[in-house]
Chains A and B, each alone.
Chain A
Amino acid sequence: MASHVHRIEVHYSRDPRLQTRTERFRSPGVPLRDLHLVDVYTIATSQRDFSPDELSQIGAQLSNPVVQRYSVDRPTEADFDHAIEVGFLPGVTDNAGTTAKQTIEDYFGFRFGEGEAVFSSQLYLVAGDLTPDSLRRLTAALANPLVNRVHVRSREEYGETGMDTITPFVRLDELQAAGTVDLDLPDADLARIGKEGITDPETGERRGPLALDLAQLHAIRDYFRGLGRRPTDVELESLAQTWSEHCKHTIFASAMDDDLPRGLYKTCIQAATNTIREAKGDKDICVSVFTDNSGAIVFDDEHLVTCKVETHNSPSALDPFGGALTGIVGVNRDTIGFGLGAKPCINIYGYCVGDPETEPALFRGKNRENPIIPPRRIFEGVVRGVDVGGNCSGIPTPQGWCYFHDRYVGKPLVFAGTVGVMPRARNGRLLHEKQALPGDLIVMVGGRVGKDGIHGATFSSEALDPASPVTAVQIGDPITQKKFSDVIVKEARDLDLYRSITDNGAGGISCSVAEMARESGGCHVLLDRVPLKYPGMAPWEIWISESQERMTLAVPEEKVDAFMDLMRKREVEATVIGRFTDTGRCVVEYNGETVMDIDLEFLHDGLPKKHLQTLPVTTTYPEPEFACPDRLDDLLLAMLTRKNICSKEFISTRYDHTVQGGHVLGPVQGSGRVQASATLTKVVLDSMKGVGLSQGLFPSYTELDPYRMAIAAIDTAIRGLIAIGVPMDTIALLDNFCWCSSDEPERLWQLKRAALGCRDGAVGFGTPYISGKDSMYNDFSGFDADSNPVKVSVLPTLLISSIGIHPDVATAVSMDAKFDGDLVYVVGETNEELGGSEYLAHLGIEGGTVPALDIETAKACYERMTDAIEKKIVASAFPVTHGGLLVALAKVAIAGRVGMDITIPGGMRPDCYLFSESLGRFVVTIAPSDREAFEELFGGDANLLGHVDGTVFRVSAGGKTLIEQPITAMEAAYKAPFGRY
């Protein structure tokens, strides 16, 4: 217990952010005049106190005298009406506090001991006439009750003494032991254990969902009957982690109906990849697929690149900032944990959220209790999470997208991906291979273990409901991770200091150690050796905690001194926590007592098999009826302001996309700065090859036709890369299924159709899957304002991400139209395919025909496009996607800040032609002198629409003008919706 507590407050004498910050939080309901910010450091020590002089020195270390002032144990003076202090709850990661602590330690040359710390908090001094209600609204925007403590005072209460000094230490009872769990119970009681968790013998409360169903609980009961004993809580919690949907993907692994006895994954995803790899023979690009933390393809003779895309949906619904932050730094570890460690070199993001201008009245509890976080705060929170995670880690984040739909208000989808690069071999070893051997030491590196993230893996396998545990929330610490990332992939790997490595993600060490134990054939863990953030954690909590920024390595005994020495030098905490064995068992000891002893085989393969049944759903809609206006000017501008079409450039400029020096085609392109579909990055600086990234997703198609939805996503992901010059035979795909209500046969049928589309699309194009992930229960169950039960399920969402290798980035093509006189073409066929389109959504019409694709035709066309780009006769190229041809033409023109003169062919209603989302198409501009070569190459596939001209965008049909708009007006419309973010 700290006996000496001091409070240092730091503020800018003239804060440059004051205006922006105040405007951000000012609204009709919150009439702010000024919102001042004060950084607070609360220093709590017991072994020594600091003199006033020393405290001044600390204040000087924590501030900048040129522009800041600090005060010690004295409140900041300012003109304000209310003071709101936001700090962290006990046990939540506090990065600024840790940095301040290290600075003080360094300055005075002493170490903070147990029960001593520096806590950071932020004090907002608010000027303005705020009612209690507006104060509550402001507080809700500044703090999240799941991670923050909030303390509010009026100016009067603040007086001369200021805010209270609070030290949020974690206090827990000392030394807990493992208990056993009786599973010889009636089924109803067993089911309750699965749903709500083990009853804690001390408190009598349930510990949180295990997400084990009755069949699984029976299998566990039978196994332990065979052993003649009850399972310990450690064993049961461990099995729940390992068998979770999140880890074992039971829905993709289970037999389905009569026609898919091997299940969706083996039949659709894995089989597609195997078929393609066989067909490609010597030209196979895959190096490692599905088995490791990421998938990997060939980059060149010396290097390979890895890719993995993850989702972090449930945590982001509860704490958008922390959820997205841990999402991105978590998937970075899938790169560091690939093979013997790849260097993260590109980040990818994607957000499906509700319309940020809406505030739906949804609650987790009855009587308007526990409201959901409104879409705008979710959106801003996840944007900021990847900002902090990606930027602080020094990884460029060029590639990403946002998709808005009301079906995401209950649960957002947050996708985070990372590309890595590594040499193919080093010291005579292939770096994508790893093997822990019996006798190797189990070493945990990185952050310490706390209660954060407990039940994360099982939690994301359950729909969000009122009992969601708050411990599922974590805040990441990117700098701790950056420190071990650097020392592992830039030093230890090439010194050959370890034999295997993996990430501690879902399930913590219970999953990572048990997974690596398969390489050697067993493990023996000493749980009491695991370094903790605070004392008093139970063994089962230590074993399954998902505290962030940790990895597990297998270090040979003879190298452990060198390894530990290197970690010490880089100030990375590393601890030997056991040994890999070949006993076939996973044994865990805690203070000399065996708390887990299970056959590895049962742990990994003991879960009962399921046979899932699906039920076809066909929704019929009336044939859409709507008139085509005479002029389409207003429609064009309205479409450009649709949230799924308009610019979200504020994200692109907030995310560093130039670090590591490989920027070639960035997230925004052209003088008009339009967001591109694909980006291109050099990841090996002395090579002219580059990594192209793109993606496709059409959630609005799923309810109409899940099979075509999947084909559309695949085609779009591939076409984005083809447009910048990445050849088809270098492209690989990643699948992320984010489904809803996956216990319903109708949703399973949609899933099956989508998976079959994934198979046919990939095989058709010859583009293998290298990695994938699924998240099956993205549903929100709660109440409306009148306490009626409400369920909001996400649109069944499939993200296809594409990665391909550009042979020579100097030939790459950007999306912006270049010069007056250049010819404008549409390549590919346009049909009347408006089902699920942005146009019908704009009109509020459901139904219609979802775009179909003849893959053979498309493939031949894409090969010609690659040829044309190699011949350098393409000045710009851009895939036609959401919003159809008109939106694509407009974006190409806005990007180049040039006008166009376009004449569309007859034969189809102009609005249908211009807004149809038919697949397989590009807008291409070329120099007039290249016309002959271009038309000869493409033949009938390319239709000349007009030319680039002046500063006005004109579209006509049959001699009639449909659109005549200055390009500046279009650019303004395109950038308007998020202009003030």
Chain B
Amino acid sequence: MTTTKTPAKALIMSGYGINSEMETREALMRAGMASDIVHINDLIAGEKALSHYRLMVFPGGFSYGDDTGAGNAYANRVRNNLWSDLKDFLAGDNLVLGICNGFQILANLGLIPAFEQVRPREIALMPNRKGVLECRFVTLKPAVENLWTRGITHLYCPVSHGEGNFSCSEETLKRIEREKMVAFRYCRDDLSPAGGEYPYNPNGSLADIAGITSADGRVLGLMPHPERAMEFVNLYDWPTQKEHLRREGKPLPTESMNMQIFQNIVAYFEK
């Protein structure tokens, strides 16, 4: 790994029920990127400045207890207090990542899909078809090669959300697909399409969509949690894999395939 003169740093948002900030920081750190966890009120009060960072992360959580719609209340707080700083940030050579509750926040802010600069809300993460939170491992396949998905054959990590059911108008879906903005889709174990079938597609998402980018590709929203399965021993099926490897006389890996997405972020800033 090369080091740049001023290493890019990440800002990880926290507060009001965001809860995955620690493991998100750990994942970025392991990939080689330092980050600060910053309470949204410290940004609003001007004690920290978004402009000091190159990556902004909205991590997973239950901001405001999902009241008034998952991610909606936190998005309102961002829009009502930080909108101009955020617009400046988006105009630079910077990245934004939203995972789970973070994706819901990005969708409510209109940072995704953001076909135009005005950023209306055009997609929604509705309640899961089953109507309850679903926590289980899912397999994801990249739908396009971009800065986020480079080198990834598949991810295998947990979803854990009550509202991850991707929805938008037919027209919007066509445009998202045409402009190659679908980043990941839910799929079966053999990487064939989930075809909407539960539990491979855990929430009823349109076109098996698990994550999309903004039109300019700099913002990624992803429902599943790669940061919660950073290591081989975090994977649901690791005990079986372990027995395979042991009997073949092979060593156990330490990292999981899910780290690639964080390594891709670091690689982007090192280019």
A residues apposed to B, CB below 8 Å: 12, 15-17, 19-21, 24, 39, 61-68, 95-96, 98-100, 102-103, 106-107, 120, 387-388, 391-394, 477-479, 482-483, 486, 569-571, 652-666, 669-671, 682, 685-686, 809-810, 812-814, 816, 818-819, 872, 875-876, 927, 929
Complex A-B: 12 CB contacts under 8 Å: A95-B65, A106-B81, A387-B132, A388-B65, A478-B62, A569-B41, A654-B132, A661-B234, A664-B238, A671-B240, A872-B246, A929-B247
Cross-chain contact B65 with A661 (CB below 8 angstroms) = no
Q: What residues of A have a CB within 8 angstroms of the CB of B64 in the complex?
A: 99, 102, 479
| Cβ of A823 to closest chain B Cβ, rounded Å | 13
The complex places the Cα of A910 from the Cα of B14 at a distance, in Å, of 59
Cross-chain contact B67 with A67 (CB below 8 angstroms) = no
| Cβ of A663 to closest chain B Cβ, rounded Å | 5
Most chain-A Cβ atoms within 10 A of its Cβ — which of B42, B133, B227?
A: B133
Instruction: Using A67-B126, A653-B136 as known contacts, list a sample of 13 further A-B pairs with CB atoms less than 8 Å apart, ordered by residue number in A.
Output: A17-B129, A66-B121, A66-B169, A103-B76, A106-B77, A394-B62, A653-B133, A658-B135, A659-B160, A810-B232, A810-B233, A816-B239, A872-B246
Cross-chain contact B240 with A96 (CB below 8 angstroms) = no
Contact of A658 among B131, B162, B167, B225 (CB under 8 A): B225
Contact of A482 among B17, B20, B77, B162 (CB under 8 A): B17
B1-37 toward A: CB 8 Å interface, digit per residue (1/0)?
0000000000000111101101100110000000000
**Interface SS majority for chain A:** mixed
Q: What residues of B have a CB within 8 angstroms of the CB of A875 in the complex?
A: 243
Q: Is B142 in contact with chain A by the CB < 8 A criterion?
A: no
Q: Is B236 in contact with chain A by the CB < 8 A criterion?
A: yes
Cross-chain contact A656 with B121 (CB below 8 angstroms) = no
State whether A20 and B129 are in contact (beta carbons under 8 Å apart), knowing that A66-B168, A99-B65, A814-B239 are contacts in the complex. Answer: yes
Contact of B23 among A21, A670, A685 (CB under 8 A): A685
Cross-chain contact A570 with B26 (CB below 8 angstroms) = no
Give me the 9 closest cross-chain CB pairs, A-B, nearest first.
Answer: A394-B19, A661-B23, A814-B239, A99-B67, A17-B131, A66-B124, A658-B158, A96-B67, A20-B131
The complex places the Cα of A722 from the Cα of B6 at a distance, in Å, of 50
Cross-chain contact B108 with A64 (CB below 8 angstroms) = yes
Cross-chain contact A66 with B122 (CB below 8 angstroms) = yes
| Cβ of B238 to closest chain A Cβ, rounded Å | 8
Q: Is B117 in contact with chain A by the CB < 8 A criterion?
A: no
Cross-chain contact B234 with A664 (CB below 8 angstroms) = yes
Cross-chain contact B41 with A571 (CB below 8 angstroms) = yes
**Minimum CB distance partner of A62 in chain B:** B68
| Cβ of A93 to closest chain B Cβ, rounded Å | 11
| Cβ of B243 to closest chain A Cβ, rounded Å | 5
The complex places the Cα of A66 from the Cα of B121 at a distance, in Å, of 7
The complex places the Cα of A238 from the Cα of B233 at a distance, in Å, of 51
Q: What residues of B have a CB within 8 angstroms of the CB of A682 in the complex?
A: 233-234
Q: What residues of B have a CB within 8 angstroms of the CB of A392 in the complex?
A: 17, 62, 65-66
State whether A67 and B124 are in contact (beta carbons under 8 Å apart), knowing that A654-B133, A658-B158 are contacts in the complex. Answer: yes
B174-229 at interface with A (beta carbon < 8 Å): 204, 225, 227-229
**Minimum CB distance partner of B135 in chain A:** A656
Cross-chain contact A659 with B19 (CB below 8 angstroms) = yes
Cross-chain contact A393 with B19 (CB below 8 angstroms) = yes
Cross-chain contact A394 with B239 (CB below 8 angstroms) = no
Q: What residues of B have a CB within 8 angstroms of the CB of A671 in the complex?
A: 237, 240
Q: What residues of B have a CB within 8 angstroms of the CB of A813 in the complex?
A: 239
Cross-chain contact A17 with B127 (CB below 8 angstroms) = yes
Most chain-B Cβ atoms within 10 A of its Cβ — which of A24, A387, A814?
A: A814
Cross-chain contact B17 with A927 (CB below 8 angstroms) = no
Q: What residues of B have a CB within 8 angstroms of the CB of A654 in the complex?
A: 132-135
Contact of B61 among A62, A67, A394 (CB under 8 A): A394
**Minimum CB distance partner of B172 in chain A:** A66
Cross-chain contact B227 with A570 (CB below 8 angstroms) = no
Cross-chain contact B17 with A107 (CB below 8 angstroms) = no
**Minimum CB distance partner of B243 in chain A:** A818
The complex places the Cα of A875 from the Cα of B238 at a distance, in Å, of 12
Cross-chain contact B230 with A658 (CB below 8 angstroms) = no
Q: What residues of B have a CB within 8 angstroms of the CB of A652 in the complex?
A: 135
The complex places the Cα of A929 from the Cα of B129 at a distance, in Å, of 47
Q: What residues of A have a CB within 8 angstroms of the CB of B165 in the complex?
A: 16
| Cβ of B198 to closest chain A Cβ, rounded Å | 11
The complex places the Cα of A479 from the Cα of B136 at a distance, in Å, of 24
Contact of A102 among B20, B73, B122, B126 (CB under 8 A): B73
| Cβ of B87 to closest chain A Cβ, rounded Å | 18
B54-85 at interface with A (beta carbon < 8 Å): 60-62, 64-69, 72-73, 76-77, 80-81
Interface residues on B, range: 35 or more
Contact of B160 among A24, A99, A656 (CB under 8 A): A656
The complex places the Cα of A42 from the Cα of B242 at a distance, in Å, of 56
Contact of B68 among A103, A571, A657 (CB under 8 A): A103
Cross-chain contact A809 with B233 (CB below 8 angstroms) = yes
Q: Is B118 in contact with chain A by the CB < 8 A criterion?
A: no
Cross-chain contact B41 with A483 (CB below 8 angstroms) = no
Most chain-A Cβ atoms within 10 A of its Cβ — which of B22, B67, B81, B230?
A: B67
Q: Is B123 in contact with chain A by the CB < 8 A criterion?
A: yes
Contact of A657 among B15, B69, B76, B135 (CB under 8 A): B135
| Cβ of A139 to closest chain B Cβ, rounded Å | 20
**Minimum CB distance partner of B242 in chain A:** A810
Q: Is B45 in contact with chain A by the CB < 8 A criterion?
A: yes
**Minimum CB distance partner of A813 in chain B:** B239
Q: What residues of A have a CB within 8 angstroms of the CB of B233 in the complex?
A: 664, 682, 809-810, 812
Q: What residues of B have a CB within 8 angstroms of the CB of A99 in the complex?
A: 64-65, 67-68, 73
Q: What residues of A have a CB within 8 angstroms of the CB of B108 in the complex?
A: 64
| Cβ of B23 to closest chain A Cβ, rounded Å | 3
Cross-chain contact A16 with B17 (CB below 8 angstroms) = no
Q: Is B128 in contact with chain A by the CB < 8 A criterion?
A: yes
Cross-chain contact A663 with B243 (CB below 8 angstroms) = no
The complex places the Cα of A392 from the Cα of B61 at a distance, in Å, of 7
Contact of A819 among B22, B81, B243 (CB under 8 A): B243
State whether A658 and B228 are in contact (beta carbons under 8 Å apart), knowing that A63-B69, A66-B122, A872-B246 are contacts in the complex. Answer: yes
Q: What residues of A have a CB within 8 angstroms of the CB of B128 in the complex?
A: 16-17
The complex places the Cα of A571 from the Cα of B68 at a distance, in Å, of 20
**Minimum CB distance partner of A392 in chain B:** B62
The complex places the Cα of A927 from the Cα of B229 at a distance, in Å, of 28
Cross-chain contact B230 with A661 (CB below 8 angstroms) = yes
Contact of A810 among B16, B73, B237, B252 (CB under 8 A): B252
Cross-chain contact B26 with A685 (CB below 8 angstroms) = yes
The complex places the Cα of A663 from the Cα of B66 at a distance, in Å, of 24
Q: Is B130 in contact with chain A by the CB < 8 A criterion?
A: yes
Cross-chain contact B234 with A16 (CB below 8 angstroms) = no
Most chain-A Cβ atoms within 10 A of its Cβ — which of B15, B19, B22, B108?
A: B19
State whether A570 and B80 are in contact (beta carbons under 8 Å apart), knowing that A66-B124, A661-B234 are contacts in the complex. Answer: no
| Cβ of A193 to closest chain B Cβ, rounded Å | 41
**Minimum CB distance partner of A477 in chain B:** B65
Cross-chain contact B123 with A66 (CB below 8 angstroms) = yes
Cross-chain contact B60 with A659 (CB below 8 angstroms) = yes
Cross-chain contact A479 with B246 (CB below 8 angstroms) = no
Cross-chain contact B227 with A661 (CB below 8 angstroms) = yes
Q: What residues of B have a CB within 8 angstroms of the CB of A659 in the complex?
A: 19-20, 23, 60, 160, 228
**Minimum CB distance partner of B237 in chain A:** A671
State whether A656 and B239 are in contact (beta carbons under 8 Å apart), knowing that A663-B229, A663-B234, A810-B233 are contacts in the complex. Answer: no
Q: What residues of B have a CB within 8 angstroms of the CB of A24 in the complex?
A: 131
Cross-chain contact A21 with B131 (CB below 8 angstroms) = yes
State whether A653 and B135 are in contact (beta carbons under 8 Å apart), knowing that A67-B167, A661-B228 are contacts in the complex. Answer: yes
State whether A816 and B133 are in contact (beta carbons under 8 Å apart), knowing that A394-B62, A571-B41 are contacts in the complex. Answer: no
| Cβ of B242 to closest chain A Cβ, rounded Å | 8
Most chain-B Cβ atoms within 10 A of its Cβ — which of A96, A571, A653?
A: A653
Contact of B80 among A19, A106, A876 (CB under 8 A): A106
The complex places the Cα of A809 from the Cα of B76 at a distance, in Å, of 42
State whether A394 and B124 are in contact (beta carbons under 8 Å apart), knowing that A663-B228, A664-B234 are contacts in the complex. Answer: no
The complex places the Cα of A483 from the Cα of B63 at a distance, in Å, of 10
Contact of A64 among B72, B136, B162, B230 (CB under 8 A): B72
